[in-house]
Amino acid sequence: MLTVVGGERRMTKADHIALTEVPYGSELYAQCLRLREAILRKPLGLTLSPDELADDVSRRHFCAVMNGSVVGAVSFKLLGPHTLQLKQMAVANGQQGEGIGSRLLSFVEAWARRHSYGMIILNARLSAEEFYKQRGYDAEGKPFDENTIPHIRMTKRTLRGKRMSLEVGDKAPSFSLPADGGGKVSLKHLKGKKVVLYFYPKDDTSGCTAQACSFRDSLPDFSKVKASVIGISRDSIESHDKFKKKFRLTFPLASDESGKVCEAYGTWVEKSMYGKKYMGIERSTFLIDDKGIIRGIWRKVKVPGHAEEVLKAAEALK
């Protein structure tokens, strides 16, 4: 990183670091652990938990090295075919404000783009929210406590302009989600049946209610062609229960509160309203055959006539 002082360019410490991926269990990994504990845990009177250490096995780890010592560390977890969760960003005491965190973050984002991961999510401490906002991350929802420290969920798209979408003929991503009434919905348990999987933004809103009632009214016809209908949103089970009871819906509503299934199907997208950009569910439907292959995709769905169109496609499947 170069700064400008009195019209002259001055090198900062970030120019003298090496950025690298860290093999799990290596000496560099051990240094990353010590840095994470010193910066993220000890100030709170905590230590690295056994669960956190066990989770490290499935993470990818990156670090910034200067003069043979780790001065910055970060890791991420793969959440799906398109999404990474950034975790444990730490910069050594005395090195903060030198651009090391920015370079490390850029390095990880470049790795994500090379490997076609289009979305990064993270739980940022509120004190770091501005740092991430300046680097293109958007805050979502309300702050929450994690280890007694206020955090906020943040997201960033790394593949702007490129849709992270499935195509007709692809294998449908597997999932298992809690559903209304305390049940569960699992794609593998529906193998041998056709499945109409529709994603909608929010329970008990005008468009989503009209769509749900349309599928409800068409359900006897879907049953004739051995097709199950499943609705998915990021609403809670309690919200689904109320929505289903209010409108007497006769098919399961699955709760994807973490957003992992929405990500896997490419329905969690950037939207815009009154000039403000935000992340939300794109109204989408997927027709999956009895072998688990996607045979039809509808995006940016317009509700009138949609259930009938999907039914015709389901009837045409052999």
Q: Which residues are catalytic?
A: 208
The CA-atom distances, in angstroms, between 127 and each of 39, 47, 72, 89 are 14, 21, 18, 13
SS3 (DSSP) at 149: strand
The CA-atom distances, in angstroms, between 134 and each of 24, 120, 137, 194 are 31, 15, 7, 46
Count CB neighbours of 275 within 10 A. 5
Nearest CA to 139 out of 81, 150, 233 is that of 150
CA 312 to chain centre: 32
Q: Find the DSSP H helices in 115-191.
A: 129-133
Q: How far apart are CA 97 and CA 35, in angstroms?
A: 17
